[in-house]
Amino acid sequence: MANVQNHVSYDVLVVGTGVSGLFLALHLPETARVLMITKADLEESDSFLAQGGICVLKGDEDYDAYFEDTLRAGHYENRRESVEVMIRSSQHVIRELARCGVDFARKDGQLQFTREGAHSSPRILYHGDKTGEEITSKLLECVKKLKNVTILEHTTLVDLLCEGNCCRGAVLQTADGTIEPIYVPDVVLASGGVGG
């Protein structure tokens, strides 16, 4: 197992290096040994290629409209509690992204908002038409500074190792085609949707 584990044991395996995987890595304890894998180059994630912006609650007066817009966009099949968490945490997430160096469009020093999709008012922050690249690249820079995180490119999840209805690890295929098991207490699938 020289390629994957290199005589190191890990506490967390994160499958995917897009925005959700990177954001997770930044929020894991520094004492956790983290292995992140991606099936291609780091710059080939769907997050990196995303052009649109990121929604944020501009103020409490916008909450009801934002909530309704989100429910309508989800054909009212959304889990209401999740929508509330997403909206209420959006300002905090934007502040965290800014601390990582994400540069959203500004005019005269003020954040610029645009309107997209199902939104009834401008509440989307953006970085030209490369918002995904801006966010992903800045998060990646922050994650690469973490001494407890190892990132492997061209490494694919082949299977999950389950025992007694619990995930105990994974089987990975490395860049050279080697199939290797890795046993870890926690496996996180941050691999995007089924289309990628």
Question: What CATH number is given for 1-46+130-196 in this structure?
Answer: 3.50.50.60
Task: Tell me the per-residue pLDDT of 9-45, one tens digit each, with 9 for 90 and over.
Answer: 999 999 999 999 999 999 999 999 999 999 999 888 8
Transcribe 39-87 into DSSP letters: SS-GGGSHHHH--S-EE----GGGHHHHHHHHHHHTTT-S-HHHHHHHH
Taking the model in full, what pTM does it have?
A: 0.90
pLDDT tier for residue 51 given thresholds of 50, 70 and 90: confident
Three-state DSSP state, 128: coil
Answer yes or no: is pLDDT of 151 > 60: yes
Task: Tell which residue, 22, 18, 8, has the closest CA to residue 145.
Answer: 22
Give the whole-angstrom CA distance, residue 183 versus residue 5.
10
* Cβ neighbours, 10 Å, residue 144: 12
Q: How many CB atoms lie within 10 A of CB 188?
A: 19
pLDDT digits (tens, 9 = 90+) for 67-97: 999 999 999 999 999 999 999 999 999 999 9
From the CB of residue 148, how many other CB atoms can be counted at a distance below 10 Å? Answer: 15
Report residue 96: phi and psi, to 5°: -65, -40
Does the pLDDT at position 2 exceed 50?
A: no
Largest distance between two CA atoms of the chain:
58
Distance, in Å, from the CA atom of 158 to the CA atom of 153, rounded to the nearest integer, reads 15
140: nearest Cα among 1, 54, 32, 14? 14
Q: Of all residues in the chain, what percent carry a pLDDT higher than 70?
A: 95
CA separation for the pair 131, 126 (Å, rounded): 5
At residue 1, does pLDDT exceed 70?
no
Q: Which two tokens stand for residue 105?
A: 């469009």
pLDDT in the model for residue 7: 54
Give span(s): CATH 3.50.50.60, the chain.
Answer: 1-46+130-196
Average pLDDT of the chain, as a whole number: 93
